[in-house]
Amino acid sequence: MSARRRLRVPLALALVVAGLVVVRVLVGTPMVYADLAVRAVLGEQIPGVSFIVMDDRLPAAVVGVLGGAALGLSGTVFQTMLRNPLASPDVIGVTLGSSAAAVAGMALVDAQGLALFWWTLLGGLLTALLVLWIAQAHRRGGHGAGGAGVVDDRFVLVGIGVAAALLALVQYLLSRMETKKAGDTMHWLVGSLSGATWPRVAVLAGALVVLVPVLAALVGRLRILQLGDDTAASLGLPVPATRIALVLVGVLLSSFTVAVAGPLAFVAFLAGPIARLLAGRPSFVLAALLGAVLVLAADVAGQNLFGRVEMPAGVITGALGAPFLLWMLMRSSTTGRGR
């Protein structure tokens, strides 16, 4: 990619994000005129409009931007580290681990608010560590020994198996809940921006303020890690510590978003490969912008294209991601690794 294109693509995506934020705030039932929305954002109290803009639509738009960016970054961390486009938090079970832990917290101790955040974060983290431990133990046991690429594939396969078990756990917990609570939990499990509030925006923004600089500091090590474990170790890179640090960052980015907006299906999976198609290489900046575009576009579509029915953003992203996943699987089967 030329230097001019490297600047033009992210700028264009940033403008798309800004345009979608404007559409999300202005378009809906009722419509809001742009001048009234600007006055409401600047602090003027306009009956009806101030609530719609400042308490409903703008927090949802901001959560869409932050959550989409976090998921795009999280997916790119796993896909780049494991050198496999299928290795997103959705596919390897991290997102479902966060969701299962949240559902367990709701079902067992009626967890809400900050407590639910902790359940969600710990669930995603423990799931990732479990998958990593099983994959590494399988390698040390000599089963299917091979290079780093084989280990990376094994990580994905173990994650899919763990995700299946977690899905069964979620279904069991839902079957034991009261009908109303199960309905509320199911709505959260779909993934939606409708419950966005400014405190949730603050939580997600605070997480990104901390995690993005940490990720930026690890990107150089990640590039070395792509050369292979043996080569990276010969260059002085502490491979196990680097992998653990990257897993932690990826899990936290994903889990914070799940805690705020629920599991927005396939956003982390889609953003990285599309960014790679645009840039010709893994790009965290483009993945973050594309994640924001996907979530906002899905939310705008869900709010406005289905008549009186408001479709959660997670339904739209899931509908987009499922055929893309099938295409990636078919491509992997015909090219060996699909990289």
pLDDT of res. 324: 81
What pLDDT digit, counting tens, does each position of 123-141 carry?
988 998 888 888 777 666 5
- Specify the pLDDT at position 142: 52
What does the pLDDT look like over 179-199, one tens digit per residue? 888 887 887 888 999 889 999
Structure confidence at residue 12 as a pLDDT band (50, 70, 90): very high
How high is the pLDDT of residue 332? 61
In the chain, the percentage of residues whose pLDDT exceeds 90 is: 51
The predicted structure's pLDDT at residue 141: 55
Rounded to the nearest angstrom, the gap between the alpha carbon of residue 9 and the centroid of all alpha carbons in its chain is 21
Using one digit for the tens of pLDDT, what is the confidence trace for 262-288?
899 999 999 999 999 888 888 999 999
SS3 248: helix
pLDDT, the chain, mean: 87
96 has a pLDDT exceeding 50: yes
Q: Which residues are within 8 A (CB) of 144 and not within 5 positions of it... i.e. 6 or more apart?
A: 138, 150, 154
Confidence of residue 1 (pLDDT cuts 50, 70, 90): low
**What pLDDT is attached to residue 334?**
56
Preceding amide of 282 cis, omega within 30:
no
Task: Give the pLDDT of residue 107.
Answer: 86
Task: Tell me: pLDDT of 232 over 80.
Answer: yes
More confident residue, 293 or 339: 293
**Averaged pLDDT for residues 298-316:** 90
**Residues near 292 by Cβ (< 8 Å), separated by ≥ 6?**
17, 20, 64, 65, 66, 68, 69, 72
Q: What percent of the chain has pLDDT over 70?
A: 91
- Report helix angle 179-190 to 94-109, nearest 10: 160
Residue 288 confidence (pLDDT) = 97
In one-letter notation, the amino acid at residue 329 is L
Structure tokens at 320: 């987009």
CB count within 10 Å of CB 309 equals 8
Instruction: Report how far residue 216's alpha carbon sits from residue 221's, in angstroms, rounded to the nearest whole number.
Output: 10
Instruction: State if pTM tops 0.85.
Output: yes
In whole angstroms, give the CA distance from residue 14 to residue 171: 39
Can you say how many angstroms the Cα of residue 84 is from the centroid of all Cα atoms in its chain?
17
CA distance linking residue 24 with residue 300, whole number of Å: 6
Residue 53 predicted with pLDDT over 90 = yes
- Per the structure block, which two tokens stand in for 334? 């015909």
Q: Is the pLDDT of residue 104 over 70?
A: yes
Q: Which domains does the chain have, with CATH numbers?
A: 3-331 (1.10.3470.10)
Amino acid at 334: T
Residue 97 CB neighbour total at 10 angstroms: 31
Confidence of residue 309 (pLDDT cuts 50, 70, 90): confident
Confidence of residue 144 (pLDDT cuts 50, 70, 90): very low
Asked if residue 331 has pLDDT above 50, the reply is yes
